[in-house]
Chain A
Amino acid sequence: MLTKRQAKTFFIGGTVLFAAIFLGLTIDTLSNGLPRNTHPEKMDDQVKLGRYLWDKNNCMGCHTIMGEGAYYAPELTRVYSRKGPAYIRTVLTAPEGWQPRGRNMVKYDFTDEEVEALIAFFKWMDEAYLNGFPPKPWLQPSE
Chain B
Amino acid sequence: MNIERPLTQHLRPDGSPRFLREYVATGGYRSLQRFGTELAPKDVQRLVGESGLRGRGGGGFPTGTKWSFVPMGPDAPKPKYIVANGDEMEPGTFKDRVLMEGDPHGLIEGMILAGYALDAEVGYIFLRGEYHLSAQRLNQAIAEAYAEGYLGKPLPGTTFRFDLHLHSSAGRYICGEETALINALEGKRAVPRAKPPFPQTVGLWGQPTIVQNVETLYNIPHIINHGVEWYHRLSLTKDGGTKIYGISGRVTNPGWWELPLGTTARELLERHGGGMADGVRFRGLLPGGISTSFVIEEHLDLPLDFSSFPPDVGRLGTGTMIILDDQTCPVGFVLNLEKFFARESCGWCTPCREGLPWVAKLLMAFEEGRATSDDLSLLEMHTKWLAPGHTFCGLAPGAMAPLQSALKYFREDFERHITIGGCPWSKKSAQQRVLV
- Binding partners A and B: no
A binding-site residues for B, Cβ under 8 Å = none
B binding-site residues for A, Cβ under 8 Å = none
